């Protein structure tokens, strides 16, 4: 059996007296897309922030490629191989595509063997090949991110994850506010990430998209994982029952009737 790309075990998280995550566990295999769904306040955003190093769990463990991790910051998580594509993308709008992909990790060369300089030729060559590889429809890697469409901006973030050989990519509501064609392209790129052997966490509300792009779907409710099934073996109706707590209520009622 292959080692999971990402393994989360028994994660708890409190903010003061509020218990936001309760004993949450999940696994994502290399090349698998796991959908994470839940109503507002279910805890999915907090869980993603724990995985990506924004928050530290109060208890539990995170393993990446079988190795236990302890992230003090998002930079630690990124350096370990976890890339996060947030809904607001966290891109530098006034920089071009290439600068965004290499931001903080720019390749350098030495002029006359002495003076360190940005290796712009390498950046442009690498980015042009990368954008062609993901069929991004971005005509010029020198374009400022500010001037790109929503779908093209998503493509920049996905290209960055591919270039830096991420082991796990978290996609947080990646199709929010996108037009139909751009949504289809982003879903295709999510599958392309998985095709490269990357484990993908796809957080969303659109259950049609979730069932279409994800291999498995996990439902969170009030800070707990309450359901996990292969997409082919579940339905929108079943997911909604768990997302709204109806399935939990039915289980509790059955346990009271048949202790």
CA distance 17 to 197: 40
Residue 110 lies in a domain: no
Q: Which CATH number goes with the domain that contains 53?
A: 3.40.50.300
How much is the pLDDT for 254?
A: 42
SS3 23: strand
70-104 residue pLDDT tens: 999 988 998 999 998 876 556 777 788 877 777 75
| Higher-pLDDT residue of 2, 212 | 212
Residue 187 lies in a domain: yes
Residue 186 lies in a domain: yes
Question: What is the pTM for the complete model shown?
Answer: 0.84
Alpha carbon distance, N-terminus to C-terminus of the chain: 37
Residue 234 lies in a domain: yes
Residue 114 lies in a domain: no
Residue 188 lies in a domain: yes
Give, to the nearest 10 degrees, the angle between helix 180-195 and helix 150-163: 10
CA distance 69 to 47: 15
Number of structural domains (the chain) is: 1
Give the domain range for residue 73.
Answer: 6-92+148-257
Residue 219 lies in a domain: yes
Residue 108 lies in a domain: no
């Amino acid at each position: 059996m292959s080692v999971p790309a990402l393994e989360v075990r028994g994660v708890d998280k409190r903010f003061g007296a509020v218990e936001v995550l309760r004993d949450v566990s999940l696994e994502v295999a290399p090349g698998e897309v796991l959908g994470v769904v839940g109503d507002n306040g279910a805890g999915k955003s907090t869980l993603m922030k724990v995985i990506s190093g924004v928050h530290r769990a109060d208890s539990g463990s995170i393993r990446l490629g079988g190795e236990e991790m302890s992230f003090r910051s998002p930079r630690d998580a990124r350096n370990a191989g976890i890339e996060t594509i947030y809904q607001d993308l966290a891109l530098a709008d006034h920089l071009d595509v290439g600068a965004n992909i290499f931001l903080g990790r720019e390749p350098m060369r030495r002029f006359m063997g002495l003076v360190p300089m940005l290796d712009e030729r390498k950046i442009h060559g690498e980015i042009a090949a990368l954008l062609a590889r993901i069929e991004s429809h971005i005509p010029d890697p020198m374009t400022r991110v500010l001037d790109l469409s929503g779908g093209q901006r998503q493509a920049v973030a996905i290209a960055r994850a591919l270039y830096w050989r991420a082991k796990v990519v978290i996609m947080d509501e990646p199709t929010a506010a996108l037009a139909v064609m751009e949504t289809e392209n982003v879903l295709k790129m999510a599958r392309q990430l998985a095709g490269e052997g990357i484990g993908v966490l796809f957080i969303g509300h659109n259950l049609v998209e979730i069932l279409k792009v994800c291999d498995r779907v996990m439902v969170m409710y009030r800070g707990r994982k309450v359901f996990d099934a292969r997409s082919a073996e579940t339905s929108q109706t079943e997911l909604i029952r768990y997302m709204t707590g109806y399935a939990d209520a039915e289980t509790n009622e059955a346990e009271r009737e048949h202790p």
